[in-house]
């Protein structure tokens, strides 16, 4: 599909002019626009309600953003994605995470694969294994039931299931305890195994490529731990290791019983893969029903995204607003502030989803962009963040648009705590939007010298995303909302949101440096830049023992 240079469009210049005009209009004035604003900016989608009325936009801005989306062919790209087109152009692949959550028969035949049957066959095999693990009929080599499931993976093979397992902690009681390991720092595996016994432990090795250094290293250490107690027999791997990969051959070569390998496909990007067998440990944690509800919630958002008109389409609105701040108002970051402790890992999950997808500076046609793309995403659960970094959100010099996520149902008792939590969420959104002016400070008797310090400028945009409860369906919808928002932004910018070439060089260099940090090769005479050579020398000598004070550089 032809890539449009968005900057060449007339509407782009109109949006630049719009940004210049709106820069100094207080949010209070924009909000007073009235009921039409509500109609345009309060949207229901897939069990979620989004109130975006406190965004720095007016009716004209939304019209212009809509036109930008039309002219950059967002709808055409969306159709191509759902239809199986190779929209991941640099890797020449289809992009099919949406098919993972479609009901049977709801996906096309792509590159010769009957996607729907393939997806549902794996789901059934996963469910069967998850049930056996949960009811204790899957036993280890000594005949004991599995009490701990440790999922080993990194990036997209870790963040999704890890985030969702915490979010859905209240669901699916009764199965084995599920833990996640991603870092090659041995501390990570060691901590996941505290209190575990090899005879009652199962590892899930998750890697799309089955080539990722961290994961293979951890999997090898996990195998050694199992064998140290259970022996070398092939049944140890067969009963205690499951693998998830799109590279089934490599997983089998690693020694995993083919019956315990759950496959997925090239058309599923790592950061879009929680819906696939990558979520196996999550399925063990919440039960197959919970997992299927997560898929159903995401599918509801897919249907909304695919069928609703652009001007009442929640992911389209979310994506265009994020793009408005990033590209036209110069915001470098945006904050995700979930007022739910169990959504604590959502910001880090969204970091990979959004930053690995849209942190690009070259368009699909190979041209360098001359406008800002992907924002930095960050956040912490409220109210913790309020007592740490909200100062900057309220009075700093940087524009930080925020998503404030609120769950209506209390997650635990006493309910009053939950009501207070929500009061805080709404209060913060209010303070960000409207601030406090000098006149009201003076009227409250604030001494004149403190008035400038206590003034709250306001006009800091946020949306409130309301979830009726934190449950598999709503979580599925929430994640899919962000996935499609990322899609919309990438589509307008004209970049490939589904590759990640920028992570390759670091991996290659780490492979080259490993023989030096392990001490197999000597730095002396090696072709290394001086800083790297020096760092390795310090590391090797400090590794033998802490330096004496006089040896310090």
Residues forming contacts to ligand G6P in the complex (CB under 6 A) are 154-157, 207-209, 212, 215, 270-271, 356, 500, 503
292-306 per-residue burial string, b: 16 or more CB within 10 A, e: under 16: bbbbbbbbbbbbbbe
Structure tokens at 317: 């609105």
CB of 351 to ligand G6P, least distance (A): 12
Pairwise CA distance, residues 252 & 523, whole Å: 37
Task: For residue 96, report the phi and psi dihedrals to the nearest 5 degrees.
Answer: -125, 30
> Nearer Cβ to ligand G6P, position 506 or 530?
506
CB of 352 to ligand G6P, least distance (A): 7
CB of 396 to ligand G6P, least distance (A): 31
Pairwise CA distance, residues 92 & 102, whole Å: 23
> Nearer Cβ to ligand G6P, position 3 or 212?
212
Cβ atoms 88, 496 nearer than 8 A: yes
- DSSP for residue 367: P
Q: ω before 383 within 30° of 0 (cis)?
A: yes
> Nearer Cβ to ligand G6P, position 244 or 432?
244
CB of 219 to ligand G6P, least distance (A): 10
CB of 244 to ligand G6P, least distance (A): 9
Secondary structure class of 465 (helix, strand, coil):
strand
Catalytic residue (choose from 18, 147, 356, 483): 356
Alpha helices in 400-470 (DSSP H): 415-434, 438-443, 451-454
Cβ atoms 321, 55 nearer than 8 A: yes
Pairwise CA distance, residues 11 & 68, whole Å: 6
CB of 57 to ligand G6P, least distance (A): 33
Catalytic residue (choose from 2, 232, 387, 524): 387
Secondary structure class of 168 (helix, strand, coil):
coil
Radius of gyration of the chain, Cα coordinates, nearest whole angstrom:
25
Cβ atoms 72, 492 nearer than 8 A: yes
Q: Which residues pair with 368 in a beta bridge?
A: 362
CB of 105 to ligand G6P, least distance (A): 28
Structure tokens at 98: 């949406």
Residue listed under structure tokens 């985030």: 163
CB of 362 to ligand G6P, least distance (A): 17
CB of 242 to ligand G6P, least distance (A): 15
507 is catalytic: yes
Structure tokens at 92: 């020449």
387 is catalytic: yes
Here the contacts of 347-351 (C-beta below 8 Å, separation 24 or greater) are 347/377, 347/378, 347/379, 347/380, 348/159, 348/163, 349/159, 349/160, 349/162, 349/163, 349/479, 350/377, 350/379, 350/482, 351/377, 351/378
Secondary structure class of 46 (helix, strand, coil):
coil
- DSSP for residue 225: H
Cβ atoms 57, 37 nearer than 8 A: no
> Nearer Cβ to ligand G6P, position 156 or 315?
156
Pairwise CA distance, residues 55 & 247, whole Å: 44
Task: For residue 458, report the phi and psi dihedrals to the nearest 5 degrees.
Answer: 70, -160
> Nearer Cβ to ligand G6P, position 141 or 216?
216
> Nearer Cβ to ligand G6P, position 61 or 273?
273
> Nearer Cβ to ligand G6P, position 79 or 266?
266
Secondary structure class of 402 (helix, strand, coil):
strand
Q: Is 407 left (phi over 0), alpha (psi -120 to 50) or beta?
A: beta
> Nearer Cβ to ligand G6P, position 270 or 494?
270
- 38: CB partners within 8 A, 6+ apart: 53
> Nearer Cβ to ligand G6P, position 82 or 272?
272
Catalytic residue (choose from 124, 128, 507, 551): 507
CB of 159 to ligand G6P, least distance (A): 8
Residue listed under structure tokens 């500076």: 361
Neighbours of 211 (CB within 10 A): 12
> Nearer Cβ to ligand G6P, position 134 or 271?
271
508 is catalytic: no
Pairwise CA distance, residues 58 & 179, whole Å: 46
H or E element that contains 319: helix 314-323
Q: Which residues are catalytic?
A: 356, 387, 507
């Amino acid at each position: 599909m032809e890539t449009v240079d968005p900057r060449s469009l007339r509407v782009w210049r109109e949006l630049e002019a719009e940004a210049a005009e709106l820069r100094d209009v207080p949010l209070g004035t924009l909000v007073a626009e009235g009921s039409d604003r509500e109609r345009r900016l309060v949207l229901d989608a897939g069990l979620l309600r989004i109130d975006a009325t406190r965004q720095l936009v007016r009716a004209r801005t939304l019209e212009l953003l809509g036109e930008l989306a039309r002219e950059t062919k967002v709808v055409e790209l969306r159709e191509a994605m759902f239809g199986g087109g190779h929209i991941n152009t640099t890797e020449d692949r289809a992009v099919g995470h949406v098919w993972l959550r479609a009901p049977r028969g709801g996906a096309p035949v792509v590159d010769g694969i009957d996607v729907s049957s393939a997806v549902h066959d794996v789901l059934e095999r996963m469910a069967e294994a998850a049930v056996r693990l949960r009811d204790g009929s899957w036993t280890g080599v000594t005949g004991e039931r599995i009490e701990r499931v440790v999922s080993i993976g990194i990036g997209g093979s870790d963040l999704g299931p890890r985030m969702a397992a915490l979010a859905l902690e209240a669901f699916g009681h009764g199965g084995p305890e599920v833990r996640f390991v991603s870092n090659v720092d041995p501390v990570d595996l060691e901590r996941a195994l505290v209190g575990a016994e090899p005879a009652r432990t199962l590892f899930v090795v998750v890697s799309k490529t089955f080539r990722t250094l961290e994961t293979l290293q951890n999997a090898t250490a996990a195998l050694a731990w199992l064998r140290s107690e259970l022996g070398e027999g092939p049944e140890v791997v067969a009963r205690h290791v499951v693998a998830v990969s799109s590279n089934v051959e490599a997983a089998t070569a690693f020694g995993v019983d083919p019956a315990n390998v759950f496959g997925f496909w090239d058309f599923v990007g790592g950061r879009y893969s929680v819906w696939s067998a990558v979520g196996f440990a999550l399925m063990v944690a919440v039960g197959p029903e919970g997992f299927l509800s997560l898929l159903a919630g995401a599918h509801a958002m897919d249907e909304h995204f695919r069928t609703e008109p652009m001007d009442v389409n929640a992911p389209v609105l979310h994506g265009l607003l994020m793009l408005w701040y990033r590209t036209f108002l110069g915001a470098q970051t945006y904050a995700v502030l979930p007022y739910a402790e169990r959504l604590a890992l959502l910001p880090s999950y969204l970091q990979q989803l959004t930053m690995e997808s849209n942190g690009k500076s070259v368009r699909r046609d190979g041209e360098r962009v001359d406008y800002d793309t992907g924002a930095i995403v960050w956040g912490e659960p409220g109210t913790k963040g309020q007592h740490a970094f909200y100062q900057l959100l309220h009075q700093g010099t940087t524009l930080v648009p925020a998503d404030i996520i609120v769950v209506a149902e209390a997650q635990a008792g006493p309910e009053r705590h939950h009501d207070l939590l929500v009061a805080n969420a709404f209060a913060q959104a209010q303070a960000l939007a409207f601030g406090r002016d000098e006149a009201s400070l003076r009227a409250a008797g604030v001494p004149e010298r403190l008035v400038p310090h206590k003034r709250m400028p306001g006009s800091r945009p946020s949306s409130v995303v309301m979830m009726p409860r934190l449950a598999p369906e709503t979580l599925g919808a929430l994640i899919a909302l962000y996935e499609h928002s990322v899609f919309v932004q990438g589509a307008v910018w004209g970049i490939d949101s589904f590759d990640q070439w920028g992570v390759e060089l670091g991996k290659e260099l780490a492979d080259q440096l490993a023989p030096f940090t392990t001490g197999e090769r000597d730095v002396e005479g090696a072709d290394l830049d001086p800083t790297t050579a020096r760092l390795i020398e310090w590391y090797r000598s400090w590794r033998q023992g802490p330096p004496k004070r006089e040896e310090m550089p």
